[in-house]
């Protein structure tokens, strides 16, 4: 495959978080009811999503992302239950991943996709410890946010939506 043109957005050049390593499907971030309704209406079908079990590994993954919400997570994702996640095509590609990156508009993407790899812990806005071209190329957090077309208020807003979707503890917003 030839290198992607530098004029493409950093995510269109990278696409790493939109392609799963085979066997990791059970650790995909869950879709909220709001994600389901919005994207179903936009695309007119349900082939883009699939269900997965609330395995201990999946719940542990969420526990790392929401360390202050163990009770909320246990209630939202009980053992034996299931959740919705993005479907993947051959090679682990997300259903929505095209040659130019995500085919959904930023506004329509699942909430976690909208802010990845940015996250919030308490009142701190940080990036997750993941392999990500945007992180690698950015000189600091403001540059990283700009390259992802994000800003701190938007990150806080979307993060609050994610927390609210699962009934998790609402962090104090400053
Ligand atoms: S968020 Fe990071 S890992 Fe995901 S596609 Fe963009 S640059 Fe790549
Ligand atoms: S919905 Fe878009 S941003 Fe999210 S994983 Fe799929 S292709 Fe990537």
Residue 64 lies in a domain: yes
> Is the full-model pTM beyond 0.95?
no
Report d(CA 134, CA 25) in Å as an integer. Answer: 23
Contacts of 86 (CB under 8 A, 6+ apart): 28, 31, 48, 49, 50, 94, 95, 96, 110
Q: Is the pLDDT of residue 174 over 60?
A: no
pLDDT digits (tens, 9 = 90+) for 45-100: 999 999 999 999 999 999 999 999 999 999 999 999 999 999 998 889 999 999 88
Across residues 120-140, what is the average pLDDT?
95
Residue 2 lies in a domain: no
* Run of H or E including 51: strand 49-53
Report d(CA 168, CA 73) in Å as an integer. Answer: 7
Residue 120 lies in a domain: yes
pLDDT digits (tens, 9 = 90+) for 36-47: 999 999 999 999
DSSP codes, 64-131: HH-TT-HHHHHHHS-TT-EEEEE-B-GGGBBTTEETTEESS-TTTS-HHHHHTTEEEETTEEEE-SS-
Mean pLDDT of the chain: 92
Nearest to 27 by CA among 115, 86, 104: 86
Confidence at 2, pLDDT banded by 50, 70, 90: very low
DSSP 19: B
In the numeric block, which tokens belong to residue 79?
């053992």
> Is the distance from the beta carbon of residue 17 to the nearest atom of ligand 1 less than 6 Å?
yes
> Is the distance from the beta carbon of residue 97 to the nearest atom of ligand 1 less than 6 Å?
no
Residue 52 lies in a domain: yes
Residue 42 lies in a domain: yes
Task: Say if CB 132 and CB 40 are below 8 A apart.
Answer: no
Give the Cα-Cα-Cα angle 71, 72, 78 (nearest 5 degrees).
Answer: 85
Q: Is the pLDDT of residue 6 over 80?
A: no
- Cα(78) to centroid(ligand 2), Å: 26
So what's the pLDDT on residue 5? 55
> Is the distance from the beta carbon of residue 116 to the nearest atom of ligand 1 less than 6 Å?
yes
So what's the pLDDT on residue 173? 45
Residue 31 lies in a domain: yes
The structural domain count of the chain equals 1
Residue 16 lies in a domain: yes
Which residue out of 47, 102, 105, 118 has the highest number of ligand 2 atoms within 8 Å of its CB and is therefore the one to mutate? Answer: 102
- Cα(106) to centroid(ligand 2), Å: 9
Across residues 126-148, what is the average pLDDT?
97
So what's the pLDDT on residue 114? 97
Which residue out of 86, 92, 132 has the highest number of ligand 2 atoms within 8 Å of its CB and is therefore the one to mutate? Answer: 86
Calculate helix-pair angle for 33-43, 152-165, nearest 10 degrees.
100
Confidence at 1, pLDDT banded by 50, 70, 90: very low
The residue range of the domain holding 158 is 10-165
Residue 86 lies in a domain: yes
Nearest CA to ligand 1 atom 6: 11
Q: Is the pLDDT of residue 168 over 70?
A: yes
């Amino acid at each position: 495959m030839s290198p992607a043109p530098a004029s493409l957005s950093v995510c269109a050049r990278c696409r790493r978080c939109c392609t799963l390593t085979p066997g990791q499907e059970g650790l995909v971030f869950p879709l909220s009811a709001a994600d389901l309704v919005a994207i179903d209406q936009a695309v007119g079908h349900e082939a883009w999503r699939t269900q997965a079990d609330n395995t201990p590994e999946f719940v542990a993954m969420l526990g790392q992302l929401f360390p202050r919400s163990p009770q909320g997570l246990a209630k939202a994702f009980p053992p034996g239950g299931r959740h919705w996640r993005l479907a993947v095509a051959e090679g682990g590609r997300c259903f929505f991943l095209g040659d130019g990156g995500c085919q959904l508009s930023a506004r329509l993407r699942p909430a976690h996709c909208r802010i990845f790899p940015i996250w919030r812990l308490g009142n701190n806005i940080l990036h997750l410890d993941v392999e990500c071209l945007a992180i690698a190329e950015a000189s600091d957090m403001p540059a990283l946010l700009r390259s992802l077309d994000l800003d701190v208020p938007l990150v806080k807003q979307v993060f609050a939506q994610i927390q609210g979707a699962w009934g998790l503890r609402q962090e104090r917003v400053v």
